Structure 1
């Protein structure tokens, strides 16, 4: 629920979306690795990609936003002589998401 007990229409929509997503993927999640932070998820993902890299692939991210993931991946790739390429249109979202407006 909302932080500090503040219930707003947006917090109710976000909570409902979380519950709906959880129920939709509950069976798969029970057999999946779960991470406590986005960074830990990203670190695991790039480590797995590096371990499986045949040496001739590209590392790209589309819609980099602030670039946090792209920079993190680049730091992990550099010691292996690999590079991360990020792309963004800089026009924002095409449609509204809960709590985020287009543009």
Structure 2
């Protein structure tokens, strides 16, 4: 029911609904960091699990604050990666594509 009815309705309503200017900045920022979050979260979990195993601590078993801290760390690293790496590389590639089109 959720996949067939609820989620499509939620996406449609969200796409049509007007956004306040304050929230549009937040949504824009979340959109910018969404791909880095997707890329970074699994390696970060593996690094922390490996580090915990090396010192005989299981961060996933008994530490409920681990999830909150992990989410914050991943968001911060994703924001930094977006500003320092992703956006400059995209701009560079766009300039290269424009030059290629101008030459063609």
* Structure (1/2) with the larger helix percentage: 2
State the TM bucket, normalised to the shorter chain.
under 0.3
* Structure (1/2) with the larger strand percentage: 1
Structure with the bigger RCO (C-alpha within 8 Å, sep 6+) is 2
Higher alpha-carbon Rg = 2
| TM-score normalized by the length of structure 1 | 0.27
| TM-score normalized by the length of structure 2 | 0.27
